[in-house]
Amino acid sequence: MPHILRIDTSAKPEGSVTASLLDQIEARIGKATNRRDLGRAAVPQIDGTWVGSNFTPSDQRTEAQKAALALSDELVAELQAADTILIAVPIYNFTVPGSLKAWIDLVCRVGVTFKYTETGPVGLLEGKRAIVAVASGGTKVGSEIDFATPYMRHILGFIGITDVTFIAADQLAVLGDESKTQAESQIETLAA
């Protein structure tokens, strides 16, 4: 049975399109084994203490540095354990929500989820699948003003996750239910 990690990021407590899409994706491919709702329980921004702790060799970290990295370690362990990662991405001001960016900063760790080589960075989370549910009011996915989906494809690839599928309910303010119907059709094509 696959291990599925679900990451919700909408700031809307009710009526989130991306949450609804993830519910439908789960119904199609299987229930999430683990969930994070960053819209309701945001993770903190990285700060100087976190950065200093992260760049201290693990065998030399103080107890305070280990504590500063504890949540990051937990989030990374969730990613490492997952076969499939479901991520909700409502497009806010042409890009990802701040809560998702904070999560990304906590999980992108040199020597843990990626490494540097002579030929450039190499992701260490290979062999995983990501399904990204996107919703937007006016931004068309793939357009010149969509900074969310290229960023997500890049950042997931950066940590080694190159099997990425986007399910888009975009331009909801323009297309309304038609956009949701198109996204639901995309979900029906997903393999379990």
Q: How far apart are CA 166 and CA 72, in angstroms?
A: 26
Structure tokens at 122: 């190499």
Q: How far apart are CA 139 and CA 149, in angstroms?
A: 11
H or E element at residue 165: strand 163-169
136 is in an annotated binding site: no
DSSP 93-151: TTB--HHHHHHHHHH--BTTTEEEETTEEEES-TT-EEEEEEE-SSPPTTSTT--HHHH
- Report the first-to-last Cα separation within the chain, whole angstroms: 10
State the virtual CA torsion across 183, 100, 4, 181 in degrees, nearest 10: -10
For Cα atoms 97, 103, 107, give the angle at the middle one, nearest 5 degrees: 145
**Residues contributing to the annotated binding site for FMN:** 10
**Residues contributing to the annotated binding site:** 10
